């Protein structure tokens, strides 16, 4: 074993959140799952922790991350926070089914939170049972690696553990599971909202100081470090939602308690990647007001940032916060256009690029285009008949595509790179596959029958969604018709 890698029992815990006052959290031991067993393990995430994948035994992973035992140095706790859920402030939130097991400091000086989701009841569970079901756990385990593969900031997962425990969800009994989530930051917008609305302004400053020291140390020398922190969070959030929009991702539960201070995709629930382009797509059956529809995500993220700004008023002048919030649309649009230029193979900036993009969105909407397959096929565009056939096969009205392709040809003529360079650059940002709902559903159905091989297979493919891998062909085709009937809710 390499000297820099460790066994599970040798992980270097260095817990800092436990230094906060007692009301910031509830110390809580995990409630063990019955007969836990390892379903899947992510060696790439293990390396972030200096954990030797070859030394991580399935039995030990199930023992520790099924809640039966505590790793040396672990100090599990449930965080207290609040937040706005579907537009309404809820003061009773907190870690209701997850525990922060501790913080691992690796040899690079990076601090990683280990958070066990599905660890049982806490003081913040309200009426819940504190468990996560296999269905939602598989979805979070897969999507976190899928998003990382696409280059979209996200929490990740080290392991997925199953058990023979069952709980009731939506009128039926389902098997329990647990996911070990790994990220540098579990602080949410809702942490600051809790301290603001409960008038704990000294604690608010304490948390902000902690966040700046841990996550944004370069801002400590700013004239107003708190203002600089808000600006950084705003920029990261604008960039994040731009990436969601460019790849057709619908988060579906964009409450402020699901917003990460680091601008990562956080707390996966009834997410979807669009099979066909629909600005009005609502991925969450519980969202009957369509608050979190695909096209509304940028505005909702800005609204959530306004909630964070409100919570930071004791530390930052109102005028500064209002001016920063007004910057958001421009930051978002610039980030979106930059990424879409890359997806279109455009390396230079031209004035008409926004118009070209908006016309493409209009085409996508009218034709209900599968944008993932469209951009992948566009990567092979060379104006020859063979390269055009697959593109036209994705469009029900060929003339609509012909009009846009004429504009695209003209725009490509303004580029300096070669056709081969453009193709390589486009293939590096236009994935061959994404985690579609039907793919997750197939893996879930197999898992319910005791077959976990589809989970492992998908993890391998989603880790590098741009590569052409033998056996991935069926995932690159149009989704089956039954996929349209998949219904997702907050328990998904």
Query: Over the stretch 264-278, which tens digit does the pLDDT of each residue have?
Result: 999 999 999 999 999
Q: What is the pLDDT of residue 112?
A: 98
Residue 8: both structure tokens together: 């599970």
pLDDT tens track for 431-488: 999 999 999 999 999 999 999 999 999 999 999 999 998 878 999 999 999 999 999 9
What phi and psi values does residue 82 have, to the nearest 5 degrees?
-130, -155
Report yes or no on whether pTM surpasses 0.95: yes
71-108 pLDDT tens trace: 999 999 999 999 999 999 999 999 999 999 999 999 99
Beta bridge partner(s), residue 395: none
The residue to which tokens 């020291």 are assigned: 213
Which positions are annotated as active-site residues? 257
d(CA 479, CA 437): 9
Q: How far apart are CA 280 and CA 300, in angstroms?
A: 14
Q: Which residue has the tokens 């910031």?
A: 24
SS3 of 358-406: HHHHHHHHHHCCCHHHHHHHHCCCCCCHHHHHHHHCCCCCHHHHHHHHH
Contact 366, 395 (CB under 8 A): no
Per-residue pLDDT tens for 284-295? 999 999 999 999
pLDDT tens-digit readout, 362-376: 999 999 999 999 999
Cα 348 to chain center, whole Å?
Answer: 29
Dump pLDDT digits (tens) for 294-331. 999 999 999 999 999 999 999 999 999 999 999 999 99
Specify whether the CB–CB gap between 233 and 260 falls below 8 A.
no
26-82 residue pLDDT tens: 999 999 999 999 999 999 999 999 999 999 999 999 999 999 999 999 999 999 999
Rounded alpha-carbon distances, angstroms, from residue 428 to 322, 382, 449, 463: 38, 17, 36, 13
Model confidence at 1, pLDDT cuts 50, 70, 90, reads very low
Quote the percentage of the chain above a pLDDT of 90. Answer: 96
| Spans of all domains in the chain | 8-186, 190-341
H or E element, residue 438: helix 437-448
The pLDDT value given to residue 3: 52
For residue 383, pLDDT over 90 is answered with no
Distance CA 46, CA 66 (A): 17
User: Residue 384: its pLDDT value, please?
Assistant: 79
Q: Are strands 249-250 and 272-273 parallel, antiparallel or unpaired?
A: antiparallel
Cβ contacts of residue 36 below 8 Å, gap of 6+?
62, 63, 65, 66, 67, 68, 161, 162, 163, 178
Phi, psi of 333 (to 5 degrees): -65, -40
Residues linked to residue 260 through DSSP beta bridges, in sequence order = 188
């Amino acid at each position: 074993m390499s000297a820099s890698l460790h066994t599970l029992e040798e992980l270097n815990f260095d817990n800092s959140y436990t230094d906060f006052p007692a009301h910031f959290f509830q110390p809580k031991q995990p409630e063990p799952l019955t007969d836990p067993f390892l379903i899947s393990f992510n060696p790439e995430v293990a390396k972030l922790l200096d954990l030797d994948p070859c030394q991580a035994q399935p039995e030990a992973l199930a023992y520790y991350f099924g809640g039966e035992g505590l790793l040396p140095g672990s100090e599990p706790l449930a965080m207290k926070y609040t937040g706005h859920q579907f537009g309404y402030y809820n003061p009773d939130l907190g870690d209701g089914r997850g525990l922060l097991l501790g913080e691992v400091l690796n040899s690079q000086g990076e601090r990683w939170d280990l958070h066990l989701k599905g660890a049982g009841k806490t003081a913040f569970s309200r009426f819940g049972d504190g468990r996560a079901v296999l269905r939602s756990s598989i979805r979070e385990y897969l999507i976190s690696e899928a998003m990382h593969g696409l280059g979209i900031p996200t929490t990740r997962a080290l392991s997925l553990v199953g058990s023979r425990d069952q709980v009731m969800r939506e009128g039926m009994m389902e098997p329990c599971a647990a996911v070990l989530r790994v990220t540098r930051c579990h602080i949410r917008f809702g942490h600051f909202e809790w301290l603001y609305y409960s008038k704990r302004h000294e604690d608010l400053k304490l948390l902000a100081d902690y966040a700046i020291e841990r996550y944004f140390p370069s801002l400590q020398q700013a004239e107003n470090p708190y203002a600089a922190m808000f600006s950084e969070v705003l920029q990261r959030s604008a960039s994040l939602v731009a990436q969601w929009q460019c790849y057709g991702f619908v988060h579906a539960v964009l409450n402020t308690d699901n917003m990460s201070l680091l601008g990562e995709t956080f707390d996966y629930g009834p997410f979807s990647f669009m099979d066909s382009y629909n600005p009005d797509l609502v991925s969450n059956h519980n969202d009957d007001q369509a608050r979190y529809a695909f096209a509304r995500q940028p505005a909702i993220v800005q609204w959530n940032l306004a909630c964070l700004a409100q919570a930071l008023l004791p530390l930052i002048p109102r005028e500064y916060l209002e001016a920063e919030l007004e910057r958001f649309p421009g930051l978002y649009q610039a980030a979106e256009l930059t990424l879409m230029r890359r997806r279109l193979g455009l390396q230079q900036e031209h004035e008409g690029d926004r118009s070209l993009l908006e016309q493409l969105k209009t085409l996508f909407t009218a034709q209900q285009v599968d944008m993932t397959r469209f951009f992948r096929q566009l990567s092979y565009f060379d104006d020859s008949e063979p390269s055009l056939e697959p593109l036209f096969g994705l469009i029900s009205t060929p003339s609509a595509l012909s009009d846009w392709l004429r504009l695209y040809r003209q725009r490509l003529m303004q580029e300096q790179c070669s056709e081969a360079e453009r193709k390589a650059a486009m293939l590096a940002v236009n994935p061959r596959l994404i985690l579609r709902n039907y793919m997750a559903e197939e893996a879930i159905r197999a898992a319910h029958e005791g077959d976990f091989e589809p989970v492992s297979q998908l993890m391998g493919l989603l880790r590098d969604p741009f590569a052409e891998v033998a056996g991935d062909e069926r995932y690159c085709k149009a989704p089956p018709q039954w996929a349209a009937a998949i219904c997702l809710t907050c328990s998904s």
